[in-house]
A and B are shown apart, each in its own frame.
Chain A
Amino acid sequence: MTPEMLSLSNSPGLFVGIMLVKILVVFGVTMLIVAYATWCERKVIGHMQTRLGPMRTGWHGLLQPIADGIKLFFKEDLIPSESTKVPFLLAPMMILVPALITVAVIPFGPDISVGGFLIPQQITDLNIGVLYILAFAGLGIYGIVLAGWASNSKYSLLGGVRASAQMISYELAAGVSIIAIFMLSETLSLREIVFLQQQDLWGVCSFVPNWYVFTQPLAFCLFIITGLAEINRTPFDMPEAESELVSGFCTEYSSMKYALFFMAEYANMIVIAAIAATLFLGGWSAPLNIGIFTMIPGFVWLLLKIFSMMFFFMWLRATFPRVRYDQLMRLGWKVLLPLALANVVITGLVVVIF
Chain B
Amino acid sequence: MELIFFYLIAIVAVASGFLVIRCQSPVNSALGLVNTFFCLAIFYVMLHAPFMAAIQIMVYAGAIMVLIIFVIMLLNLGTEARKRYTTGVVWSAIASLLVLFNVMYFIKRGRVTGAEGDITSYTVESVGHVELIGKALFTEYLLPFEIASILLLVAIVGAVVLAKKEV
Contact = CB atoms under 8 A, between A and B. Distances in A.
Nearest to A168: B66
A87 B72 CA distance: 14
A134 B34 CA distance: 17
Contacts of A141: 62, 66
Interface string B42-71: 000000001100110110011100110110
Nearest to A157: B73
Interface residues of B, number: 23
A342 interface: no
B18 to A, nearest CB: 16
A87 B70 contact: no
Contact of B66 (A90, A142, A157): A142
A127 B50 contact: yes
B50 A126 contact: yes
A161 B34 CA distance: 19
Contacts of B40: none
A84 B58 CA distance: 27
A139 B62 contact: yes
A296 interface: no
B138 to A, nearest CB: 12
A131 B55 contact: yes
Given A132-B54, A138-B58, A127 B130 contact: yes
Contacts of A171: 62-63
A87 B130 CA distance: 35
A160 B71 CA distance: 12
Q: Which secondary structure dominates where chain B touches chain A?
A: helix
Interface in B123-153: 128-130
B62 A131 contact: no
Interface stretch (A52-60, A69-77, A143-151, A346-354): A143-151
B28 A87 contact: yes
B21 interface: no
A197 to B, nearest CB: 20
Contacts of B57: 135-136, 138-139
Contact of A84 (B27, B51, B62): B27
B128 A127 contact: yes
A131 B129 contact: no
Interface in B70-92: 70, 73-74
A19 interface: no
B73 A149 contact: yes
Interface of A: 84, 86-87, 90, 126-128, 131-132, 134-136, 138-139, 141-142, 145-146, 148-150, 157, 160-161, 164-165, 167-168, 171, 188
Interface of B: 25, 27-28, 31, 34, 50-51, 54-55, 57-58, 61-63, 66-67, 69-70, 73-74, 128-130
